[in-house]
Chains A and B, each alone.
Chain A
Amino acid sequence: MSDKFTGKTITLAHGAGGKAMRDLIDAIFVQTFDNPELSSLEDQARFELADLAQYGNRLAMTTDSYVVDPLFFAGGDIGKLAVTGTVNDLAMSGAVPLYLTCGMMIEEGFPIDDLRRIVQSMKATADAAGVKIVTGDTKVVHKGAVDKLFINTAGVGIIPQGIEINSHRAQIGDVVIINGFVGDHGAAIVDARGELALESTVETDCQALNGLVQAMLATGADIHCLRDATRGGVATVLNEFAQSSGVGIRLKQAALPVREEVRGICELLGLDPLYLANEGKLIAIVAKSDAERVLAAMQAYSAGKDSVIIGEVLAQPVGKVLLQTGFGGERLLDMLVGEQLPRIC
């Protein structure tokens, strides 16, 4: 760490383009992210196309902004989320994620120690996922213009030849697989906000899924659909698949893994885990004949050790998701309208 950078809070000077900004970028970002593409400090990162082409024949590109409140929560923080979220969006195409950008909008007065912690978390997460953060931007805004800190990350990855993952490819008879417990992130955030005065040990499931996806593809199976179940939860992703593919999907509630504590939070507040956000869960649709080997490959991988089959693709009802309730009944599982609010009724 550079000794010349000793301030305690971010000021508008840190975003003004002068020496203070240069010191901040050097002390916090360049030294932490530490890679040749970034260290050159040009206005852009530069890549040899030939290097990229070794991974496949198509470029995948995505962007996402992270505004989670609170910034730190059990099992993660906004920095970890900003890396895994973008890595996962790339990975869901089958792409090998390679490079990320990091744009930060910081409210003046933000503690530098917190910023350092968040940037270090981004670095650790990026290293674990095998991606580099190669270019960035920092803006400091007046108090109240953003809530503490927002991060935008964009990412590029390369899709290997022959991979055709697409939400309209679900076929009748296919099976639906998830890589573990549902609703952890949403429950952890409800808990971390503290408004509802709950105490629990639920942690976010925030994790990069690119390794898991590569393990699934390595089986040689044809993965039809793949999506991470973030905002809107499992219910939303399944509805998207059903609509895009023009099929029905039956979800078996009894097969769906939900942690006891997440259930506890849901029962207390009248929430449904199927609509809670996840940050490390993917839903895959594969041909029934491929299901077993894909599942085995997933279970052998750390991010997929709790993988299970949770449903199947049907001819009817087109564009809808049926929930088999585990109690003997069946109902439609719709998308959520607006935000899920705790209820008393």
Chain B
Amino acid sequence: MKFVDEFRDNQKAQYLQRAIHELAAQLEPTLSRPLQIMEFCGGHTHTIFRYGIEQMLPKSIEMVHGPGCPVCVLPMGRVDDCVTLAERPEVIFTTFGDAMRVPGSRKSLLQARADGADVRMVYSPMDALTLARKHPEREVVFFALGFETTMPSTALTVLQAEREGIKNFSLFCNHITTAPTIKAVLDEPDLMLDGFLAPGHVAMVIGLQPFEFIARDYHKPLVITGFEPLDILQSLWMVLKQFTENRCVVENQYARVVQPTGNQAGLQAIHNVFETREFFELRGLGSIDHSGVSMRANYTPYDAERKFAMPNLTVTDPKDCQCGAVIKGLIKPWECQIFGKKCNPENPMGALMVSSEGACAAYYNHGYTGKAA
């Protein structure tokens, strides 16, 4: 497949692996501990595990798997709201597949479906709108979640519903924003992160500027990174080059997809439909200022939170769960007290065990024989 296979090439991976080892060898004499580089995005975590990339790295480089998995950081209380909505007899509750398994305090959407709720998996919010057209007698609710990458799609779907005058469609908006979430990680006092691989598909929408504070104010090198394994290796090499050359800037490895100014039409749609929330709760990270968006007042008819009475309760995370510390890079997944014991993919306690992109689930599922042992 074009633009896919070329970026999974084994030969070029070897070049990069060698270049990374060479730069790491240069840096090693100056290091008192391994360099910690965070891939913020769950998609990157997935690629890193799927291709066994951590194993290709020198011991002096450690990957820290960040909180950029919207399914993982979804708070339990919001899942409960989803279940409550889905259980209404008039509602067809539509969602991306990977949100179905996230446990709420009562049950997951998968369990709600088993108990008779009309929960349907869709590939696109447009498919949810199609369902609304087909079932005018029902209320179709789409579970909108994801970072900025996903916002244009839900915003454009709402705009399309408005244009067509479709009244039985609404969003349950749980979108979250990248920069405030990264900032919350960076403001952690015990932070040991040295650099970032930044989410290429978020940057495809919002451009490079929102990431600049990380290099400028926090002095962490940052590379906007694509999602194929060569992209990850090349970006790591670029971060290391910044270390060796004593630079600290935002660089764009993913130039084939990311324009410096992002996607204007997408940003405009986001701006039209959504506005920043004062704060939003993220599982494992707690409440973060401006980390979420809600729908603007003129889209009230399309806002499930306003359209339906929602319990909107906050449910505290299980107290022995250490997801927060893992997300911030303070401990490794297997150092958590309940990892693999009380908390496993069959019965996830913490956010990071929920989705296959979560760091804990990734370690559990394809944990390395070497490093994780």
B residues 14-58 touching A (CB-CB < 8 Å): 14, 17, 42-43, 46, 49-56
User: Is B195 an interface residue, CB under 8 A from the partner?
Assistant: no
Per-residue CB proximity of A288-327 to B under 8 Å, as 1/0?
0000000000000000000000000000010010110111
Alpha-carbon distance A44/B240, docked complex (angstroms): 75
- Contact status B367-A332, CB under 8 Å: yes
- Contact status A328-B98, CB under 8 Å: no
A-B contact number at CB 8 A: 107
**Please, which residues of chain A bring their CB within 8 A of the CB of B53?**
327, 329
Distance to closest chain B CB from A112 (angstroms): 28
**Please, which residues of chain A bring their CB within 8 A of the CB of B101?**
338, 341
**Please, which residues of chain B bring their CB within 8 A of the CB of A264?**
1
Q: How many residues of B contact A (CB 8 A)?
A: 45
Task: Contacts A345-B71, A345-B98 given; indicate if A329 touches B146 (C-beta within 8 A).
Answer: no
Task: Contacts A195-B121, A334-B366 given; indicate if A327 touches B51 (C-beta within 8 A).
Answer: yes
- Contact status A332-B368, CB under 8 Å: yes
User: Is A137 an interface residue, CB under 8 A from the partner?
Assistant: no
Task: Contacts A267-B1, A341-B98 given; indicate if A195 touches B120 (C-beta within 8 A).
Answer: yes
Alpha-carbon distance A316/B153, docked complex (angstroms): 47
**Please, which residues of chain A bring their CB within 8 A of the CB of B255?**
none
**Please, which residues of chain A bring their CB within 8 A of the CB of B150?**
344
User: Is A146 an interface residue, CB under 8 A from the partner?
Assistant: no
Alpha-carbon distance A211/B345, docked complex (angstroms): 40
User: Is B69 an interface residue, CB under 8 A from the partner?
Assistant: yes
Alpha-carbon distance A234/B56, docked complex (angstroms): 25
Alpha-carbon distance A323/B367, docked complex (angstroms): 12
Distance to closest chain B CB from A237 (angstroms): 17
Alpha-carbon distance A173/B8, docked complex (angstroms): 29
- Contact status A327-B366, CB under 8 Å: no
Distance to closest chain B CB from A311 (angstroms): 15
User: Is B10 an interface residue, CB under 8 A from the partner?
Assistant: yes
**Please, which residues of chain A bring their CB within 8 A of the CB of B121?**
195, 341-342
- Contact status A345-B69, CB under 8 Å: yes
User: Is A224 an interface residue, CB under 8 A from the partner?
Assistant: no
The 6 A-B residue pairs whose C-beta atoms are closest, nearest first, are: A329-B52, A341-B97, A342-B97, A343-B98, A331-B52, A331-B366
Provide a sorted-by-A list of 14 A–B residue pairs whose CB atoms are within 8 angstroms: A195-B122, A196-B122, A269-B123, A323-B52, A325-B50, A327-B8, A329-B52, A332-B366, A332-B369, A333-B366, A341-B101, A342-B121, A344-B97, A345-B70
Residues on B close to A: CB < 8 A? 1, 4, 8, 10, 13-14, 17, 42-43, 46, 49-56, 69-71, 96-98, 100-101, 120-123, 127, 146, 150, 229, 345-346, 355-357, 364-369
